[in-house]
A and B are shown apart, each in its own frame.
Chain A
């Protein structure tokens, strides 16, 4: 099953780079949803294989990240009436190059990181997960629109989920569900926030909120 896991991780990395290069918010949301579905598939192809537990977990993750979050975010951008990330702090070409740099760093880091000996089953999981986390952070700090920042947050979360899967094979189901619930609440609140910001200020540029400070 290593080939499958590596294939999924490679697809995650491609989606990361695509996210860095796209300006359309709707497409961003689609990319993040696809990434969520792929992360949901990861437990099924991991060492524990298809059991009732992994099946249930995968279904929950896919339903939440693949269906519910995109819905919430799509509604938010429809309410705010924005289509594009217009002027990010870091341009598209430079973002892609930075993403490549982060990719290199995460592969270097993945090789150095002391991990439990039994844990990393497929070679690509650890560097891929680190890279996903770093690119999620990059998206959060380099974009202005609140929706894109939420997308970055979700990418970050996907990276952490993949990393956890690789390093800690058996997290109790309750904790995994708890994390999912946390993420759900966070995205729910953020979607409401985006709507409120756009109602108040006619835009969802998070950078201008700092002007509110006294």
Chain B
């Protein structure tokens, strides 16, 4: 284990909510508003942590366990994600399967907690979340396999993302671009951003993610918000690692390039949210199938 890996893990834990702040600031600037402070997500989380939680009498221990279990799963997934060419804190052969399933476990915890409230409304949100994520998962996984094939011999997330450099782009550029496009769609869908879900509204007919957490309050909601920020960092780091193929070997340069990639990604998401409308709910599966199609295409291009 290298010291950089630990530093990157700690930095991700601290900086993850900042991505949300950058997205919100980009949207505010595009709309001509001053917008909330860049650190507003931190303020929200700190405020929520100091509050007490209220639990309905119809809920059981499942409801109380959900947020903590979700946060724990996402944090563990974060430990496997490399940043800026340096290997991740943990890595073993085939670990990307574990990362994908840790994200699924976090989702399962949220969904079960939502179902535990007994509210039909939350059940609806849980149903949508599960439907869409079942379609997003193959896109993510096949994309990872495609990127792993672009870097022969690499079997862990750290190794295959660390091997994506200028030469890999020159050799299999179209496939990497397709995988990155698929991941961008997955990134938007999994983090409940605009073409799939609107994080700014609470309109019951369209919500997916927000519905499931309506009954959580106080520290539980803080865990959920922080977990969502970490999940955004996990998927964003994958995307940045492919899109910013700077692997000079010098730690400061690689790290700065990756950080710039993350910031650009946040700005890009803000720009997408400012310029697009939310898709109708029935069109979302189609978008996610298209993402899977892009991943499959990337894989086929590399299989030959």
Contact = CB atoms under 8 A, between A and B. Distances in A.
A100 to B, nearest CB: 5
Given A17-B293, A99-B293, A100-B293, A107 B304 contact: yes
A7 interface: yes
B289 interface: yes
A7 B173 CA distance: 8
A123 B173 contact: no
Interface in A1-44: 3, 6-7, 10-11, 13-14, 17-18, 21
A7 B301 CA distance: 10
Given A3-B173, A21-B290, A92-B286, A10 B296 contact: no
Contacts of B173: 3, 7
Most buried by A among B285, B289, B294, B304: B289
B297 A14 contact: yes
Given A7-B173, A13-B297, A17-B297, A123 B304 contact: yes
A201 to B, nearest CB: 29
Interface string B107-138: 00000000000000000000000000000000
Contacts of B166: none
Contacts, number: 49
Nearest to B296: A100
B178 A96 contact: no
A140 interface: no
A96 B293 contact: yes
Interface in A69-122: 92-93, 96-97, 99-100, 103-104, 107, 111
B300 interface: yes
A124 interface: yes
Given A7-B173, A10-B178, A14-B178, A107 B300 contact: yes
Interface string B262-304: 0000000000000000000000011001101110110011011
Contacts of B94: none
Contacts of A111: 304
Interface string B160-190: 0000000000100111001000000000000
A103 B296 contact: yes
Interface in B136-163: none
A96 B301 contact: no
A107 B300 CA distance: 8
29 contacts: A3-B170, A3-B173, A6-B174, A10-B174, A10-B175, A10-B297, A10-B301, A13-B297, A14-B294, A14-B297, A17-B290, A17-B293, A17-B297, A18-B290, A21-B290, A21-B293, A92-B286, A93-B286, A96-B293, A99-B293, A100-B292, A100-B297, A103-B296, A103-B300, A104-B300, A107-B300, A111-B304, A124-B301, A124-B304
Given A10-B178, A14-B294, 14 more contacts: A6-B174, A10-B174, A10-B175, A10-B297, A11-B174, A17-B294, A18-B290, A21-B290, A93-B286, A96-B289, A100-B292, A100-B293, A111-B304, A123-B304
